[in-house]
Structure 1
Amino acid sequence: MHLTIEECHARCIAAALGAGAHAAAAESLARAVVAAEAAGNRSVGIAHLPLYLEALVEGRIDGSAQPQIEQPLPAILHVDANGGIAHLGYDLAHQRLCTAARSFGVATFAQKEAFTCGELGYFARRLANEGMVAIAATNGPALITVPGGRRPVYCTNPLAFAAPLGEGGVLLFDQSSSETAFVKVRQAAERGETIPQGWAIDAEGRPTTDAAAAVEGALLTFGGARGANIALMVEILAAGLGGANWSLDAPSISQGSASPGTGLFIVAIAPAAFGPEFPNRLAAHARRLEAEGVHIPGRGKAEMLKNAQREGLRIPRRLMEAIDAYAERA
């Protein structure tokens, strides 16, 4: 199906409302998944929305939840999502976070008791578009193991970084601590496909290329112990500081009726606090690096966003029909 961004957004809102989300939560969720789709991150875009819709229907997301925001210090925002989606708590705090960063040079957002947040780069990109340098970290139910381990101990624990480039561009990367994203393995399992060697182990701790066996086992960290160290750092930031569930304690995002209670941690830095030239200096340096063959992450996603705004989105008809079916519940 060929849809404009606005049409896709409206249909996602209708589906979330039908699944039990209140209006503000439906709007926040739809905006995030459509943004991921438009940026080319389709595994956490529209195809990821049914996971949220099922969780709303089955109680893993409280569709009526109202986030509570506290500001214990001028540059610290602490949010309790109260079992709702991660996006609404952030949306309600976004402008306060930017204001605090501009006032103090740096500000921090920490959220607990939320469902998993999908595309982590979505939050960092929004801050970069406000002229901020941003670092974001999040966790979820345990899915990956460490070298020598046999059972999952961390989530994929991604880390995202974004910075404003001159002339409105954004440098952005969003990468997991695992060799691949869990959603890719799950989708391969649903299609009966194999996965590359080194991505995962089975439930007995043996290396596997069977995606279905990997879903029952654990993903592997990238770079061995180095990736495990990054996963631990993310866990401390996302779960430790904000009081969210450790990955080992987080309930499933696809079964049961309990919220995974995950965390989201974001640092916003105002470059203007250090001088006025940062975006242009970074843009000039990025051009030098590109001349040396260095890939500057974020360029491709920015182009995809422009194309999506101009040309719309192509969504598999069967997927969109399944999403539309939730709207009929309202």
Structure 2
Amino acid sequence: MKISTEDGHNLVSSALQKIGYTPESTKIIADHLIDSELRGYGVAGLARALSIADRLAGKPPAQTTKTTRSAPATAQIDGQDTLGYLVAYEATQVAIAKAKSNGVSAVGASGTWYTGMLSYYAEMAAKEDLVAIIASNCTAWVAPEGGYRPIFGTNPWCVGFPTGDGQPPVIYDIGTSKILHADVLLANRLGRELPPDSVFDKDGNDTVSPQDALSGALKVWGGHRGSGLAITVQLLGVMAGSAAFPPDLAGFGYMIVMVDPAQFRPIEEFKAEVDAFSKAMREGPALDKGKKLRMPFERSFGIREEGRNRGEFEVEDGVVERLKKLIDG
């Protein structure tokens, strides 16, 4: 169904407060979920509030963190089992402040779960004219290339660059599995099959059943290259403070490194070069004559702008119904 952005925000905010989040925490989480919806990633949008509720199972949510180490350019944050949308947001703010003061920063966070879209945090950095490199590990749901037992998480990797002239930031944000764990949960919730060639059952057979996938493994993206990248993300999360194998939906690691390009050349000059590269990319000849080349993040940025102008987005009927039931329950 179509739902107005305002109604969607109110709906998910009411659900989050019903779960037990404070108005301050709710705003941070809801803004992220609505941003996901507006950019066309519904699986990480309103539906995520249902997964948060499932994970908490009626228990009051943790909402406090502890800084365990701090230096001029670095910090480590213990999320104390607080939702990743809140922990990663805090870690990103700390990284921005330290990078603007020192030219570089590196902040690790652990003891968290569900960090959301890393591009959300990279965009926060780009608005401050900073380059961000982000990695986030999680529960072992994904099999390495050549195997079928889960050994690492869906493990997103993200790099973001600021731009000038009103252009969208350049942000490369990828998951290292063929589909997300959230895709499996949503398909299971709505009684749908998964895309072919995306998951294994527990015996290593291909399946389209979300139930079988939950006891099996997701397939890695990109063959041995994607498998290698996923391994590095897993270990960067370990450096941030996680265990090598975080437990189910707990103990994730989030690592963010920021660099101020102005430490190396005038910032406007740097952004002009990024813009020149982006322009050349967009104007390059495409093999498909009906399409144009584009920079990473450009498509979802445009979809979000269109959604904001329309003031609405599409969401699964079943997700809205379950959120209303959660609120009324």
TM category, shorter: 0.7 to 0.9
The answer on whether the counterparts of 1:132 and 1:271 sit within 8 Å (CA) in structure 2 is yes
Give the match for residue 33 of structure 2.
Answer: 33
For the residue of structure 1 that corresponds to 2:282, the secondary structure is helix
SS in 2 for 1:84: strand
Runs of 5+ unmatched residues, structure 2 = 287-292
- Please report how far the alpha carbon of residue 237 of structure 1 lies from its aligned counterpart in structure 2 after TM superposition: 0.8
Residue 224 to residue 95, structure 1, CA distance change in 2 (3 Å): closer
Which residue of structure 1 lines up, in the alignment, with residue 174 of structure 2? 175
Of 15-24 and 180-189, more deviation after overlay is shown by 180-189
Q: How big is the shift at 1:148? A: 3.2
Deviation at 1:243, TM superposition (A): 1.4
| 1:26 CA displacement | 1.9
Segments of 5+ residues of structure 1 without an aligned counterpart are: 254-259
Q: Among the aligned pairs, what percent are the same residue?
A: 25
Task: Sort the Cα spacing of 1:94 and 1:180 in 2 relative to 1 into closer, same or farther, 3 A.
Answer: closer
Residues matched between the structures, number: 317
Structure 2 counterpart of 1:288: 280
- Paired amino acid for 1:312: G
Displacement of 1:273 in angstroms is 1.6
Deviation at 1:129, TM superposition (A): 2.2
Task: Tell whether the 8 Å contact from 1:19 to 1:57 is kept in structure 2 after alignment.
Answer: no
Shift of residue 36, structure 1, vs aligned partner: 1.0
Counterpart-to-counterpart distance in 2, 1:17 and 1:291 = 47
DSSP-derived class of the 1:82 partner: strand
Asked whether the equivalents of residues 133 and 268 of structure 1 are also in contact (C-alpha less than 8 Å), the reply is: yes
What's the counterpart of residue 321 of structure 1? 321
Match of 1:140 in 2: 138
Q: Which residue in 2 is equivalent to 1:257? A: none
Q: Which residue does the alignment assign to 1:45?
A: 45
TM-score between both structures, scaled by the size of structure 1: 0.88
Tell me if 1:262 matches 2:252. yes
Distance of aligned partners of 1:103 and 1:249 in 2 relative to their CA distance in 1, 3 Å threshold: closer
Q: CA deviation at 1:117?
A: 1.3
1:47 positional shift: 2.1
- Do residues 298 (structure 1) and 287 (structure 2) align? no
SS of equivalent residue, structure 1 residue 83:
strand
Distance 1:245 1:28 in 2: 27
Deviations 1:81-127 (A, max 9, x none): 11111122233344432121122221112111112212222111221
Looking at structure 1, the residues matched to 179 and 12 of structure 2 have their Cα atoms a distance apart, in angstroms, of: 27
CA-based RMSD of the aligned residues comes to 2.2
Q: Among residues 86, 91, 95, which one is paired with 2:89 in the alignment?
A: 91
Task: Look up the SS of the partner of 1:88 in the other structure.
Answer: helix
Alpha-carbon distance between aligned partners in 2 of 1:52 and 1:316, rounded to the nearest angstrom: 17
Q: After TM superposition, give the deviation of residue 3 of structure 1 in Å.
A: 4.0
CA distance in 2, matches of 1:274, 1:325: 54
1:209 to partner: Cα distance: 4.5
Distance change in 2, residues 1:148/1:58 (3 Å): farther
Q: CA, structure 1 residues 228+192, in 2 after alignment: closer, same or farther (shift >3 Å)?
A: same
Q: Residues 70 and 327 (structure 1 numbering): CA distance in 2 closer, same or farther, change over 3 Å?
A: same
Question: Residues 211 and 131 from structure 1, CA distance in 2 versus in 1: closer, same or farther, beyond 3 angstroms?
Answer: same
| Aligned mates of 1:181, 1:196 — CA distance in 2 | 14
1 CA distance for matches of 2:85 and 2:184? 24
Look up the match of 2:9: 9
Cα deviation digits, residues 165-207 of structure 1 (max 9, x gap): 222321122211122223234444543425223x222211233
- The 3 A distance-change label for structure 1 pair 250 and 129 is same
Instruction: Give, as a single letter, the amino acid of the residue that structure 1 aligns with 2:104.
Output: V
